[in-house]
Structure 1
Amino acid sequence: MNWHSRYETVAEAIAALLGPEAEVVVHDLATDRIAQIVNPLSRRRVGDASLLDLEAGDLAPGKAVLGPYEKAGPSGDRIRSVSAVLPGEDGRPAGLLCVNLGLGRFDAAARLLAGLFPPVAPRPEALFRRDWREAVNLILRDRLAAAGLSADRLDRAGRVALVAAIDAEGLLEMRHAAAYVASQLGISRATLYADRAAARSRLAA
């Protein structure tokens, strides 16, 4: 039994999960040939040259996973790939398992969606001068986007910092604002006031 036969079902499972836009390839480093390919979007076949041209040290210890990285497909579409080093019987690198996800259809869908809407014009500030809800929403959007989190995934320190930013603009003094902010953050008003107290205490320290 060849060493790469143990990875055949793994390659098939990955391709089944990711669907028709994913190609999964097992490369044999000893022969520099393709040992297995599932869903061959690149039009390669088992036995074709891998053309990896690896040098000593390219697969040094600690480089078990390479990527994700991008490359181009036969039609020029973007492909996002990741490669995993496969050990042989002696534990040394014997092959690579490469997963190539075609992004052509995703990019086409993004262009289609972008074309449905005209370019955004500058916001007419006069319409929002007194809209404290919009001001709160902008702070929430910008802070959460910078943190890469949704409101329900903030820890207390992050939530206190967010409440501090809202409080610094005086927005919590607006009528019904506390209830609105608490609702947006998924917390009670009591928790919101506790967070504001903690924020003000840290600012005064």
Structure 2
Amino acid sequence: MVNEDRQYLEKFFPIASFIAAIIGPKCEVVVHDISDPERSIIFIENGYISGRQVGDASTDLVLKILKSEAYHEEHFIANYKASGKFGQSFRSSTYFIKNDKNKLVGLLCLNIDVTHMEVAAEWVQHILQGGPNPYIAPPVAELPQEEKQTTEYLQGNADDLLQHMVSSVIGRLTIPPDRLSSQEKIEIVRELNELGVFLLKGGVSQVAASLSISEPTVYRYLQKLK
């Protein structure tokens, strides 16, 4: 079945190249194989934009999609914001690749670098003395309500992804992790679990170190969340 899924995903490689050729060199197009989140990129066009390559990891959004299983009701999410490790801004969209049995096997992702467009839009807005920003689009009707504020961080290394995801949650704390109550730590583990952090192999150890608890304690918290 795994080989069949891979062969099915390979049919999207020419489509990815086709899209990149149409939109141009500022558009990165990626095909993800979700069977291995730590090495999910199996095809990429214009990867120099984000600095990623074949064999690199999923993104925080990919993990969240896998954990939430939102793909059951939707075929894609479109026109959300993403950021790159070099400070770029992207307008991104993701198509859910499902096989003949309607099982999710991969993702086709478009990331258009709009960094310079945003700078130009700000300049135009200034010239027009506070007129509406021509870049900011109205809400996208295709997106489900909970995805209207979808964001994504584009990076290649699984360890960097894990560090980013854990830091994004732990960094909001106003007190040191070792002063949190057990219930507060459980809630943090719940949030990280919903983000898909524990789909990565090093997730438990990273969270344990960040919360100043043992790995068995993380597993115990996860059991309580079931």
Q: TM-score, normalised by structure 1?
A: 0.52
Relative distance call for 1:110 and 1:10 in structure 2 (3 A) is: same
CA contact (8 A) 1:22 1:102 kept: yes
Q: Which sits farther off after the overlay, 62-71 or 14-23?
A: 62-71
Q: Structure 1 residues 118 and 85, CA, compared in 2 at 3 Å: closer, same or farther?
A: closer
Structure 1 residues 118 and 98, CA gap change in structure 2 (3 angstroms): closer
In structure 1, the partner of 2:52 is 44
The residue type equivalent to 2:55 in the other structure is G
Q: How does 1:9-158 map to 2 (within 5 A)?
A: 9-32=14-37, 33-40=40-47, 41-51=49-59, 52-54=62-64, 55-115=66-126, 117=127, 119=129
User: AA paired with 1:37?
Assistant: I
Deviations along 1:8-62, one digit per CA (max 9) or x if unpaired, are: 1110111111111111011101112101111111111101111432445424422
The residue identity in structure 1 corresponding to 2:63 is D
Paired letter, 2:27: A
The number of equivalent residue pairs is 119
Q: Are the structure 2 counterparts of residues 60 and 85 from structure 1 closer, same or farther at C-alpha, using a change threshold of 3 Å?
A: closer
Correspondence for 1:145:
none
Secondary structure, counterpart of 2:12 in structure 1:
helix
Using CA pairs under 8 Å that are at least 6 residues apart, name the structure with larger relative contact order, 1 or 2. Answer: 2
Instruction: Confirm or deny: 8 A CA contact 1:59 1:93 kept in the other structure.
Output: no
User: Based on CA coordinates, which of the two structures has the bigger radius of gyration?
Assistant: 1
Q: Aligned equivalents of 2:102 and 2:113: distance in 1?
A: 31
What is the RMSD of the two structures over their aligned residues, measured on CA atoms? 2.2
Which residue identity does 1:68 align to in structure 2? N
Structure 1 residue 76 displacement after superposition: 2.2
Contact 2:50 2:86 in 1 (8 A): no
Letter in 1 for 2:50: S
Distance (Å, rounded) in 2 between the aligned partners of 1:56 and 1:100: 22
Matched letter for residue 13 of structure 1? F
Summarize the Cα distance change of 1:118–1:6 in structure 2 as closer, same or farther, 3 Å threshold. Answer: closer
2:18 counterpart letter in structure 1: A
Which SS does the other structure have where 1:67 is aligned? strand
5+ long unaligned stretches in structure 1 = 121-205
Say whether the 8 Å CA contact 2:71–2:104 is kept in structure 1. no
CA contact (8 A) 1:71 1:79 kept: yes
- Decide which of 4, 11, 27 is 1:6's aligned counterpart: 11
Q: Which residue of 1 aligns with 2:151?
A: none
Aligned AA for 1:23?
E
**Are residues 111 and 30 of structure 1, via their aligned partners in 2, closer, same or farther at CA, if it must alter by over 3 Å?**
same
Q: Structure 1 counterpart of 2:14, which letter? A: T
